[in-house]
């Protein structure tokens, strides 16, 4: 939640980073995405096959 606004500030005003390398923000963003994808794959890995989604009724119907 903090990283996105901070990355915008650092990209527009690099002096606001105070010693942080400019490429670190992008690396952290890639790490967050990798963590989210890994967590999703981990949860799907131990979910039993054919299990119903208990929150399906709260999702939009297409």
The model's confidence at residue 39, banded by pLDDT at 50, 70 and 90, is: very high
CB within 8 Å of 11: residues ≥ 6 apart? 22, 25
The three state secondary structure string of the chain is: CCHHHHHHHHHHCHHHHCCCCCHHHHHHHHHHHHHHHHHHHHHHHHCCCCCCCCCHHHCCCC
pLDDT in tens, 11-34: 777 776 677 777 887 888 888 899
Which pTM was predicted?
0.53
Q: Where are the domains of the chain?
A: 11-58
């Amino acid at each position: 939640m903090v990283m996105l606004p901070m990355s915008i500030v650092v990209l527009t005003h690099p002096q606001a980073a105070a010693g942080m390398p400019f490429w670190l923000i992008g690396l952290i963003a890639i790490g967050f995405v990798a963590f989210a994808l890994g967590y999703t794959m981990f949860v799907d890995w131990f979910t039993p096959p054919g299990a119903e989604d208990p929150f399906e009724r709260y999702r939009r119907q297409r």
